[in-house]
Amino acid sequence: MNIDFGVHMKGGIITERDAAFCTVRVRLPAGILDIEKMRGIARIAKKYGKGFVHCTARQTIEIPHIDPSKLRAIEKALAKNGTPIGSERDEIVNVIACPGIERCKFANIDTASLAQKIDAQLFGKNMPVKIRIAISGCPNACTSPMLNEIGIMGRIRPLRIPGQCTGCGTCVEYCKEKAIIIKHGISVLDPEKCVQCGVCVQSCPFDLLKAEYRHYRILVGGRRGRHPHIARDLITIEDEDTVLFVIEKIVNWVYRRAWSGRLLSDQMDDLQFEKFRADIEHEISVKTGDQKK
C-alpha cells in the first residue's frame, strides 16, 4: 500500500479511532462555501469516503473514513476544488466568524471579510500551541471570541443627539443590560453598564441614536474544553488594517515566547502579557500618530 506520509502529517489529517482510517478536515475560513465548491466536496466524499461529511464546531467540513493510501489523490482533488486540506494541530486553525453586517441585524463589523484576510495572512502557520481565532460582530458573542486564543468583537458606543430625544423609551425596552433609563423626558445611558452592543441604536424609531465609536475589541488567551477560561482584553482598534497588524503581532509574540505542551491560557503570566499589552498600546499609539508628547 502506497501511503503518502507527507500528506498524512498535515494538520488537517486526523487519525480516527480505527487507525486504519483518517478524517480529512477542509479549510473554510468563516465557514463560507459556494454551491459549486459544496458540490465538489460532495463528489470527493462520495469517491474517497463513505458518502457523507461532518460539519465541525470550527465552521469546517470533515470527510471521514478515508483510506490513507488515497490521501495524495484527495489532497489534489480538494486543492483543485478550492477547498484545500485544513488545520488542527499546533498551528493557526480555521478562522471562524458570525454572519456579520452582511446578514445579522445586531452586527457592527464585517466579520467574513476580516476572517478571510486573517486566513490569507496566517492560516496554517506552525506554532508552539494551537491558535484558534474567532470573530463576533457584536457582544452577543455567538462565536465565543472570549473562549479562543484570539478573539475579535465588533462594538459601537451609542451617542444620543442632544435636544431631540422624545423619551419614548424604546431603547430602554431593548437594552438587555438595563443601561438606559428615561430621566426628565430623555434617555440617559449608564456607561458602566453599557457593553456597546449597539442594539439601542438599531431600536430608536426616530434614528436619534448614532454610532459614535465603532471599534474592534481584541482579546487574548481564552479557551474552551474541560476547563474553560475567559480571554484577557488586549486593546480596542478602530480600523481593520490595524486589527490585522495587531493579530500578526500577537501571533509573532506567541510564536517567539510560548512553550509547547501547555495551553496559551496557562502561560499568559509567564509570557508577561501585561508588558506585551503595554508594548502594543505604545506601538499603536505611535502608528496612529496619537502618541502623547
3-state secondary structure of 229: strand
Residues of the chain above pLDDT 70, percent: 97
- Supply the angle between the helices 111-122 and 240-257 in degrees, to the nearest 10: 40
Mean pLDDT taken over the chain = 93
pLDDT, tens digit, 9 for 90 and up, residues 117-144: 999 999 999 999 999 999 999 999 999 9
Q: Say yes or no to pLDDT of 103 above 50.
A: yes
Confidence (pLDDT) at 290: 58
Residues of the chain above pLDDT 90, percent: 86
* Rg from Cα positions in the chain: 22
| Residues of each domain in the chain carrying CATH 3.30.70.3340 | 5-80
Confidence (pLDDT) at 160: 86
Confidence (pLDDT) at 289: 75
In which band, very low, low, confident or very high, does the pLDDT at 11 lie, cut at 50, 70 and 90?
A: confident
Confidence (pLDDT) at 4: 44
Q: In the chain, count of helices (H) and strands (E)? A: 8, 11
pLDDT, tens digit, 9 for 90 and up, residues 29-83: 999 999 999 999 999 999 999 999 999 999 999 999 999 999 999 999 999 999 9
Q: Say yes or no to pLDDT of 291 above 60.
A: no
Run of H or E residues at 115: helix 111-122
Bridge-based pairing of strands 150-160 and 209-220 is antiparallel
Q: Say yes or no to pLDDT of 2 above 90.
A: no
In which band, very low, low, confident or very high, does the pLDDT at 293 lie, cut at 50, 70 and 90?
A: very low
pLDDT, tens digit, 9 for 90 and up, residues 177-218: 999 999 988 999 999 999 999 999 999 999 989 988 999 999
> Of 63-72, 160-169, 229-238, which range is least confident?
160-169
Confidence (pLDDT) at 91: 95
Question: Quick one: average pLDDT of 72-100?
Answer: 96
Of the candidates 134, 155, 126, the one whose C-alpha atom is nearest the C-alpha of residue 224 is 134
Q: Which fold has domain 96-157+212-287?
A: Sulfite Reductase Hemoprotein; domain 1 (3.30.413)
Does CATH place domain 5-80 in 1.10.10.10? no
Strand ranges inside the chain, DSSP E? 13-15, 22-25, 54-55, 61-66, 96-97, 133-136, 150-160, 180-183, 186-189, 209-220, 232-237
| Residues of each domain in the chain carrying CATH 3.30.413.10 | 96-157+212-287
DSSP notation for 162-220: TTT-----HHHHH-TT--EEEETTEEEE-TTT-----HHHHH-TT--EEEEEEEEEEEE
Q: Say yes or no to pLDDT of 1 above 90.
A: no
- Given a contact cutoff of 8 angstroms between Cβ atoms, the answer to whether 87 and 27 are in contact is yes
Question: Quick one: average pLDDT of 157-182?
Answer: 92
- Given a contact cutoff of 8 angstroms between Cβ atoms, the answer to whether 186 and 167 are in contact is yes
Residues 135 and 226: their CA atoms lie apart, in Å, by: 22
